[in-house]
Every structure is written in structure tokens, then in C-alpha cells.
Amino acid sequence: MAAIAAIGLLVSGCTGFAYLSKTYVSLTPQVVTIGCKDPYEVYDQRRLRKMLIVSNSLREITGCGIDDRLAGGDPALTRAKRFREAARAYLDETVREDCRITGETVFTDLQTEFAYSCAAPIEPRGTKVPRLPGRSRVGL
């Protein structure tokens, strides 16, 4: 029974990795900050209306406001709130205040995908759209 559960976890992890690689690997990350300038990398698939929010383990441990995060109880619940806040801030800062988040998929503690919908139509390929700055060393 335990072997079946382990195989299930392994396969779902591989499936998640394959999906993330296929969906987001070609995108340049943008950086959105929340709270006291905690940065999160955003990989936005505008045509699919999905974005991947990524943190890193060092920031999760040593980021500013960590005492506030832990005082609220379960760090996983606080993490989910911060990722949602980063997704909302990203939409606002890229001039899509009218868009709303419609779904959320947690892949790991450091990677969450958000689906969103907007009243405006999807921009044609090649359209210049607002972008946030990136970072030269992704993941730091």
C-alpha cells in the first residue's frame, strides 16, 4: 500500500515538473514585490491567462517580516496568502486591475500557478504589453 502511494507521489511530481517545464520554461521572469519589498518571480502566460509565482527557500527562511509570517500560525497558510498577494500585485502593476484570479494550483511550497480572467480580450501576438523588471540572476 505504501509503495503505491509513493509511486503516485512520484508520478504526480514528474507530471507537475513536465507541465511547468512545457508551460513556462521559455518565458523571461518578471519580479513583483510585496510587503517590505519581498520579491517574487512571475512567469506570465498571457495567452493562456495563467501565471506561475515562484519564491526561493532562502527568502522563505530569511525574508523580511518572517516573524509576522510565523506568528500567524501555520507557515504554509501564510505562504499561500503571500503568493496570492504577489499574484494580485502583479496583475495590478501590469495594468490589469480588472482581471480576477479564478484558480490556484500549488505545485511545491515555492511554486504556485494562478489562473485569471479579464474582461479585455487576449492581446494579439507581438503586442507591446506592460512588463515588470526582471532579474539577472533568477532565483536569488
Residue appearing with cell numbers 503571500 = 82
Number of domains in the chain: 1
Report if residue 73 sits inside a domain.
yes
The confidence score (pLDDT) of residue 38 equals 84
Q: Which residue type, as a one-letter code, is found at position 118?
A: C
Global confidence as pTM:
0.77
The confidence score (pLDDT) of residue 35 equals 80
The Cα–Cα gap between 98 and 76 comes to: 28
Report phi then psi at 71, rounded to 5: -65, -25
The Cα–Cα gap between 44 and 78 comes to: 23
Residue appearing with cell numbers 511545491 = 108
Tell me which of 12-16, 25-29, 36-40, 104-108 is least confident: 12-16
Report if residue 134 sits inside a domain.
no
Report if residue 139 sits inside a domain.
no
Report if residue 10 sits inside a domain.
no
- Domain assignment of residue 37, given as a range: 26-117
Report if residue 34 sits inside a domain.
yes
What are the tens digits of pLDDT across the range 96-109?
Answer: 999 999 999 999 98
Report if residue 136 sits inside a domain.
no
Region 60-67 average pLDDT:
60
Report if residue 8 sits inside a domain.
no
Q: Is 86 helix (H, G, I), strand (E, B) or coil?
A: helix
Which CATH number belongs to the domain containing residue 103 in this structure? Answer: 3.90.76
Q: How far apart, in Å, are the Cα atoms of 49 and each of 76, 99, 111, 122?
A: 25, 10, 17, 8
Report if residue 113 sits inside a domain.
yes
Q: How far apart, in Å, are the Cα atoms of 103 and each of 2, 33, 50, 55, 131?
A: 31, 21, 9, 19, 22
